[in-house]
Structure 1
Amino acid sequence: MHGSRIAAVGHYQPAKILTNEDLAAKVDTSDEWIRSRVGIRTRHIAGPEEPVDELAAHAGGKALAAAGLAPEAIDLVLVATSTAIDRSPN
């Protein structure tokens, strides 16, 4: 047995960005109020055409590239998420 290790990590963010100003146009808030309380300026929003498994695949591809590995070199991928693949009303 050769053991396990993290060879690289990857990330992916959807292209669509929602700013605090965008939120302030929809609800009673402001950029300053949000930033002063939670520190968030922008957030990336996945559209219905971008399910969570595809976002994970993009991140995985970046991790493979960073490690210099081909997909065939991977024996196991573990994913933990609290986000369902299929969207549901909330």
Structure 2
Amino acid sequence: MDIHYLYHAMLAHYREGDSAGLDNYSGKALARVWKAQRFSWWMTGMLHSFPDAIEYDRKLQDTELAYLFSSEAAQRSLAENYVGLPF
């Protein structure tokens, strides 16, 4: 996605003299990066066992997995994040 944003920002800059895309590039790219980081954190927490986890954490993990398996909306959200967020 980063290259998509940069490509269109550079086209606008060099073809039309519009630097708005270049000026906003970092913020736009970082917003997507943080969304990807959030998803990675969420998946890791849901799918991995940690030796220092307390019973409360394990119950939350089990509940999160149960919700994912029972909710079509949660499954759509996982799929959207897994294959890549929309533009």
TM-score by length of 2: 0.28
**Which of the two has greater helix per residue?**
2
TM-score by length of 1: 0.28
Q: Which structure exhibits the higher relative contact order, with contacts defined as CA atoms closer than 8 Å and separated by 6 or more residues?
A: 1
**Which of the two has greater strand per residue?**
1
